[in-house]
Structure 1
Amino acid sequence: MFDFLLLGCAAFIAGLIDAVVGGGGLVQIPALFSMLPNTAPATIFGTNKLAGIFGTSAAAINFSRRVKIAWSAALPAAGAAFALAFLGAYTVTHIPTEAIRKTLPFILLAVALYTYKKKDFGSIHAPLHTGMKEKLLAICIGGSIGFYDGVFGPGTGSFLIFLFIRFFGYDFLGASAVSKVINVATNLAALLWFGYSGHIIWQLGILMAICNVAGSLVGTRLAIKHGSAFVRKLFLVVVSVLIVKTAYDAFFK
């Protein structure tokens, strides 16, 4: 019961962080590995996805009630992400991921430096595209990140936020809201696969899902209350932690 309590707390914190800038897996997955050392990694990831999809869905719904979500971009991107996440999950069983693992810290470092250097990055919501161009660009971004999430995964939410600010002209709050819709799609694709293959601890996953939802509701309220400036600061913190974590995993494990 004490282990379950600790995992519930980890899920709450993960939900809070993930609702604002993504990166909840930084908290939730290590906690699961620590508390369940003899459990198969696939079961850890499946249980994490079960908890995460409820928190991400709650965040998406909460954002939709308080922030104007660009559905014209979010829905095509989510559809592409869902389809490509399946392809990514299939591909990961047939190709080595070592090159991705070693490249990821440098990509994240470039994202962090770009965001830090451009002080006005994500501060103004000024959408750049409409119509078919918007949909095609959304499909490209959603599909690419969905595939990445299926193959590897760390930093998916943060990458989505960065790309929707950089290429769509959204502010941090608007990009975070759109990223939640896409994350629901990628999580659902992964969850269907893990559920089908029997890699979910349902009782634990549901307990963590409840805590994750509670954290996500607090996170979205904080993001909406404090705006894009707050989201930008937390984004830089989470990406910095991701750089350290992915670099350690790639070069020192």
Structure 2
Amino acid sequence: MWLNLLIVIILGFLAAAVDAIAGGGGLISLPALLLIGVPPQLALGTNKFAASMASLNSSITFARSGKVHFPLVKWQIPFTFIGALLGVWAVLSVSSQFLNKVVLILILIVGIYTILHKNLGMENRFEQLVPSKLRAGCCFALALGFYDGFFGPGTGSFLIFSFIALFGFDFVSASANSKVLNFVSNFASLILFAWNGKILFLYGIPMALAMILGSFLGTKLAIRRGAALVKPIFITMSLLVAFKLIYQYI
């Protein structure tokens, strides 16, 4: 038991640090729970519990630094919440195999596009909210909330990319805004997992504490080092998600 706790604490800390910077922490935290023998449904619920605590901490830290653009995300939050609830509900009755293939293609495109466009997200070019882009942003929030509740891998990467491509934010501001929406989708999913008794608090609580510390470190690093740190980690995590999906598909 003590070895299992050590594993989830160490890997949870690492996962949250990476996730706070560029997303993709679920690639580390969820397998950690499965590694110690937690059944899949309990692992998903426990991971959502710990990840919610970490994403809340990151959101608060980013907000205090002035990196979160609340005039935009305040409109996206309810769409994300509703989307996540619908996603968790849908996963009970719909196969994720088709979505797996679609996401694999999309996240490869995101990763490769970011590599090829060297200046993408390196400067903050956001100027003002345009109604047409705000509507598009709310649609993205609904879709990505649904995706996070339904399936999950790569949500952070898609959110960051949408803030950069659609609104012109740099990587740090995009990561800050995406972390707020990521917390909302995590929390919405957590409600349903908790309602169905799918959280193992024996591992969830120590993992959550470790992830809060990891998220604090990752957020501070992102703020201090800027896009020069966030972009390469973003590309790495996007491609790792793609390779993980390829491995599962094969």
Q: Fold conserved (TM > 0.5)?
A: yes
Residue equivalent to 2:18: 17
2:139 matches 1:140: yes
Separation in structure 2 between the aligned mates of residue 158 and residue 59 of structure 1, nearest angstrom: 16
C-alpha distance in 2, partners of 1:183/1:203?
24
2-side partners of 1:68 and 1:59: how far apart?
A: 11
Instruction: Report what 1:4 is aligned to.
Output: 5
Corresponding residue for 2:184? 185
In the alignment, the residues of structure 2 paired with residue 65 and residue 90 of structure 1 have an alpha-carbon distance, to the nearest angstrom, of 34
Alpha-carbon distance in 1 for matches of 2:127, 2:100: 32
1:66 is aligned to: 65
Residues 117-166 of structure 1, C-alpha deviations (whole Å, 9 max, x = no match) = 11110011111541544532221111010011111110101110001100
2:173 maps to what in 1?
174
Q: Which range is displaced more, 60-69 or 150-159? A: 60-69
* CA offsets 1:74-124 (integer angstroms, 9 cap, x no match): 122121111111111111122221111122222111101110111110011
Q: Percent identity?
A: 35
Select between 54-63 and 124-133 the one with higher mean Cα deviation: 124-133
Segments of 5+ residues of structure 1 without an aligned counterpart are none
Distance 1:235 1:117 in 2: 14
- Distance (Å, rounded) in 2 between the aligned partners of 1:92 and 1:54: 23
SS of residue in 2 equivalent to 1:200: coil
The alignment status of 1:206 with 2:184, answered yes or no, reads: no
Letter in 1 for 2:200: I
CA deviations over 1:158-214 (Å, ceiling 9, x no partner): 110001100011000000000010011100111000000000011311110000000
Look up the equivalent residue of 2:171 and give its one-letter code.
F
Is 1:97 the counterpart of 2:87? The answer is no
Q: Unaligned regions of 5+ residues in structure 2, if any?
A: none
CA distance in 1, matches of 2:244, 2:44: 17
Asked if 2 retains the 8 angstrom alpha-carbon contact of 1:86 and 1:147, the reply is yes
Cα distance in 2, alignment partners of residues 164 and 194 from structure 1: 28
Q: Which amino acid is the alignment partner of residue 114 of structure 1?
A: Y
The aligned residue for residue 151 of structure 1 is: 150
Deviation at 1:68, TM superposition (A): 2.9
Counterpart position of 1:230: 229
- Secondary structure at the counterpart of residue 96 of structure 1: coil
Write the distance in 1 (CA, Å) between the matches of 2:120 and 2:79.
26
Query: Counterparts of 2:159 and 2:128 in 1: how far apart (Å)?
Result: 17
Query: After TM superposition, what 4+ stretches of structure 1 lie above 4 angstroms from structure 2?
Result: none
